[in-house]
Chains A and B, each alone.
Chain A
Amino acid sequence: MTTTVPSKSAISVLPSKKTPIIFSVLAVIVLVSFGLLGNSQTASFSLSSAGDAFSLPDLVFPGRASNIVIGVLLAALAAYSWMLRSKGRVLPVWSVAVGAVLFVLAFLIWVVSGANINSISLASLLAGGVVLAVPLVFGSLSGVLSERSGVVNIAIEGQLLGGAFTAAIVASVTQNAFAGLIAAGLAGAVVSLVLALFSIKYLVNQIIVGVVLNVLVSGITGFLFTTVMQEDPQLYNSPVHLPTIAIPGLSAIPVIGPILFKQSVIGYLMYIAVFLVWFGLYKTRWGLRVRAVGEHPKAADTLGIKVNRTRFWNVTLGGIVAGIGGSFFTLVAIDSFTKEISGGRGFIALAAVIFGRWNPIGAFAAALLFGFADNLQVMLTIIGTPVPSQFMAMMPYLVTIFAVAGLVGRSRGPAAVGDPYVKE
């Protein structure tokens, strides 16, 4: 519709004020609330945990003083970005990242120095965050796979829940955790098949199918939980767990060891899956076609690519991935299945898809961030902080609202996501 006549701009347009404003606000918050009004006690972060090969010293920050310093640094960054804007330029990406890290650090120092116990284990904070992120990562990969091909996937929650339930029941009956893992993938695929069937074949609005599927899976698993599992929990709801495999030597490295080298099978699978999805989408013929189908299905069709078939398989593949992620609940994290065990994490995964800009690596990073926030919330409750845990729990949702509203970068999905493709 809009036409662009390439000619020199007579009226210059300055870049958006959003970034400088956000940095200014953050600087004020850190300087005033965290710094001047903050607690003067120290905050200490321990980096080592029992079983490490060698131990690192704790990081200790004086609460008020460090935050005043960080506040000044942020203020300088804000000033820098105002200055750049007046010259018509935007802040480079690295400085945005530095700003974000500084703010998180200031926040941590502030809460820990103000808590009843002024010490927190950074190592377990990170390691626990990764563990909590596992189902989120799988869920968000499912979202990426599906949405990159043009099908909205609101049903991640249902895929996770279906996977968790099936893994529990199969691993209990067969007494084999790997059978549970495979069954979970199949269950996720079944949920996806319904999504694919209704949205691709019957052209039902994809959001409607997704929303309804979540209710359906919740209903079926809830029903079977009561009628089958609770009748004989010994037989049906005592899943064998997947072992945690520690790689000798490497797993003893402080901080990094537990994150990378002391995981369950699903945890290792997560790293592999993220790499495979990224490599597949951006480096292979398959990925080029999938992205084409999600951006401009008609163009893909005119080049002989089967649009609906591509979508169908991608949605199904996404279901398998999310199903495996769901099995994490019952094969690793928790002893047995309970109703609504996924507890809305499918929606956080969806948020990670958006916050990660439909890129597998981005979604992975977003899921890690959300997992970390989740874990932080738990740990802060233990050390007794002034911040109510509910506000920490809101974090992923608020961050996503900011992301989609364009306050922190613009998040735009594949152009054709949500539109069914109909050949005339």
Chain B
Amino acid sequence: MKLELRGISKAFGSFYANKDIDLVVDDAEIHCLLGENGAGKSTLMNVLYGLYQPTEGQILLDGKPVAFNGPGDAMAAGIGMVHQHFMLIPVFTVAENIALGAEATKGPGVLDLQVTRKKIREISDRYGFDVDPDALVEDLPVGVQQRVEIIKALVREAKVLILDEPTAVLTPQETDELLEIMRQLKANGTSIVFISHKLREVRAVSDVITVIRRGRVIDSVGAETSTTELANLMVGRAVELNLNKEPATPGAARFQVRGLSVVNDLGATSLDSVSFDIHEGEILAVAGVQGNGQTELTEAILGTQPVAAGSISLDGIELVGKSVKQVLRAGVGFVPEDRSVHGLVSEFTIEENLILDLYDRPPFARGISMNLDVMRKNAAAQISDFDVRTDNQLNPASSLSGGNQQKVVMARELSRDLKLFIASQPTRGVDVGSIEFLHRRIVAERDKGTPVMIVSTELDEVMELADRIAVLYKGRVNGIVPGNTSREVLGLMMAGVSAEEAFAQADFATSANEPVEAQPVPLETTEHTDTQEGEAQ
């Protein structure tokens, strides 16, 4: 089926998430929508899927204009969507989830799940999915849940399948498998709209790549376009990913994690004997695919996650067993991975958010009595220091853009003398201008001599900031390597390959031809020449 979008605009209030978008997806084509976080890709797809009504513009299917009042209309027209956050009901079985909304019935409205089970098995067999129709969705791994979503669309005979950031939660292996499934779907005549901001995947599978920036279509190009070129189109200027930071001058090991294990509520080990050091004046980046224990690691250090075994010490003081307040008082600055949930009280004013973890200590409070004057002056100073864009510090934090919210969190955490600075996903959902600003502040903190730990799933960010990189895989440290380690090696390590083997394989791959990594990516700063295996633990 041929899908065409003409002049689509979508406004939220005075803000245009999409503006005059034109897009043509041909029959049996894999069409990629490439753009940064926040470029407006998901909004566009929600318009296409009938979840949002376009402010202006037209959607055409096989040349005929259509209007969707809801996802039901879109589905009936042959459009299926796999959302970034899966639209599955955890307490339902696979069959119930897939039947929902398109139930087979016998008699007056009585469910007949047998029909659905049969369909699931058919599709499962055709594409080699291994999905049990009677399993509860909440018990399934993420990769399998994604397949359930794909089956859901296929059962509804989708001719156009939208995949919204499908690889964000997958390991490199699972990603390869997904790309293979996409090729198979294409061979069977399904058109695919593939949303991503990961250049390598996009180039590996797409027929056409449409780049979106700030809600507008910038260009449509072929898969042969180089990564640098795509990156430039995506961010709108020559990408200069080098901060030109001074080489680290690490001092003594100040922060030590030894044999740290965390067991979750279900009894599964989410961190398994994790050990590493961070030295004075260095940035250790923790890399890995989302969901490999990063959240548990930072939360265990902060004290919001019970520790099953191991020790965490800062300047010789044991942090395990201490309350969050005691950990913060010990000199830990903490930027959580999800600022709107853990970093800010969005209804509080900017002033209040700037002292969210300082409110009960001098000069902001004496005893239980707060000094609101000091709070105000502090806010004015921080706002100008971090260039937070707001017209009034009494506005709620929710009135700020993502980048400015992150600046508030970062300003707060960096505003006191730190003995350790931890930032999780420090620039997730932040505009490019602010990213650079925030990165410079992180490096500045390192240069003051503070040990810094950055947790990021964005390889670019890891490679840019890190002096050393620890790769987490299934809750274990799968090696600690130098900051200039190549992307291929890190990718392999993130997939569970040991550091030694990863280096060996990567050397081989540059001469042979690796499927996903079609050619070396020119975004790196340096080649991996000095492979200090001694660093790996």
- A interface residues with partner B (beta carbon < 8 Å): 1-13, 283-289, 291-292, 295-296, 298-306, 415, 423-424
Contact = CB atoms under 8 A, between A and B. Distances in A.
Contact of A4 (B90, B91, B264, B338): B264
Contacts of A305: 72, 100-101
Contacts of A424: 12, 46, 51-52
Contact of B269 (A2, A5, A283, A298): A5
B163 to A, nearest CB: 14
B75 A303 contact: yes
Contact of A286 (B92, B109, B263): B109
Interface string B1-39: 000000000001000000000000000000000000000
Contacts of B88: 296, 299
A361 B194 CA distance: 46
Nearest to B104: A285
Interface residues of B, number: 53
A284 to B, nearest CB: 5
Nearest to A14: B267
Contacts of A3: 270, 290-296
Contacts of A11: 261, 263, 269, 308-309
Contact of B92 (A285, A292, A302): A292
Nearest to B296: A3
B111 A301 contact: no
Given A3-B291, A292-B89, A302 B111 contact: no
A302 B341 CA distance: 24
Given A288-B96, A304-B75, A5 B268 contact: yes
Contacts of A296: 87-90
A286 B99 CA distance: 12
B14 to A, nearest CB: 16
Contacts of A13: 263, 267
A319 B458 CA distance: 52
B348 to A, nearest CB: 20
A8 B87 CA distance: 28
A283 B295 contact: no
Contacts of A295: 89-92
A300 B92 CA distance: 12
26 contacts: A2-B296, A3-B270, A3-B293, A4-B266, A4-B268, A11-B308, A283-B111, A284-B109, A287-B111, A288-B96, A288-B103, A289-B100, A292-B92, A292-B100, A295-B89, A296-B87, A300-B89, A302-B49, A302-B83, A302-B87, A303-B72, A303-B101, A304-B70, A304-B72, A305-B101, A423-B51
B94 to A, nearest CB: 13
B473 to A, nearest CB: 9
A221 to B, nearest CB: 37
Nearest to B70: A304
Interface in B60-103: 70-73, 75-76, 81, 83, 87-92, 96, 99-103
Contacts of A2: 264-265, 270, 295-296
A227 to B, nearest CB: 45
Contact of B475 (A5, A284, A292, A299): A5
B71 A301 contact: yes
Contacts of A288: 96, 99-100, 103, 111
B52, B81, B101 — which one has the most chain A CB atoms within 10 A of its CB?
B101
A287 B265 CA distance: 31
B368 interface: no
A178 B88 CA distance: 45
A283 B105 CA distance: 10
A6 B291 CA distance: 11
Contacts of B291: 3-5
Given A9-B269, A10-B272, A11-B308, A304 B105 contact: no
Given A292-B92, A303-B72, A9 B52 contact: no
Contacts of B46: 424
B339 to A, nearest CB: 13
B269 A7 contact: yes
A11 B109 CA distance: 48
A373 to B, nearest CB: 31
A152 B70 CA distance: 26
Contacts of B264: 2, 4
A304 B261 contact: no
Nearest to A280: B109
A175 to B, nearest CB: 37
B100 A298 contact: no
B141 interface: yes
B474 interface: yes
A11 B269 CA distance: 8
B76 to A, nearest CB: 8
B76, B89, B109, B341 — which one has the most chain A CB atoms within 10 A of its CB?
B89
Contact of B474 (A5, A12, A303): A5
A359 to B, nearest CB: 12
Contacts of A8: 269
A299 B267 contact: no
A285 B338 CA distance: 37
A305 B294 CA distance: 36
A298 B86 CA distance: 10
A285 B89 contact: no
B512 interface: no
B110 interface: yes
Nearest to B272: A10
Contacts of B105: 284-285
Interface string B453-486: 0000000000000000000001100000000000
A2, A8, A302, A305 — which one has the most chain B CB atoms within 10 A of its CB?
A302
A9 B269 CA distance: 5
Interface in B258-297: 261, 263-270, 272, 290-296
A168 B90 CA distance: 45
B261 A285 contact: no
Contacts of A1: 295, 338, 341
Given A5-B474, A11-B269, A283-B111, A298 B87 contact: yes
B293 A5 contact: yes
A4 B295 CA distance: 10
Contacts of A12: 267
Contact of B268 (A7, A286, A291, A423): A7
Nearest to A295: B89
Given A1-B295, A10-B308, 16 more contacts: A2-B270, A4-B268, A5-B293, A11-B263, A13-B267, A287-B111, A292-B89, A295-B92, A301-B70, A302-B71, A302-B81, A302-B83, A303-B102, A304-B70, A304-B76, A424-B51
A76 to B, nearest CB: 29
B46 to A, nearest CB: 8
B71 to A, nearest CB: 5
Contacts of A9: 263, 267-269
Contacts of B52: 424
A285 B75 CA distance: 18
Contact of A285 (B12, B103, B296): B103
List 8 A-B pairs, minimum CB-CB distance, nearest first.
A304-B72, A303-B101, A299-B87, A3-B291, A285-B103, A302-B87, A13-B267, A296-B89
Interface in B104-120: 105, 109-111
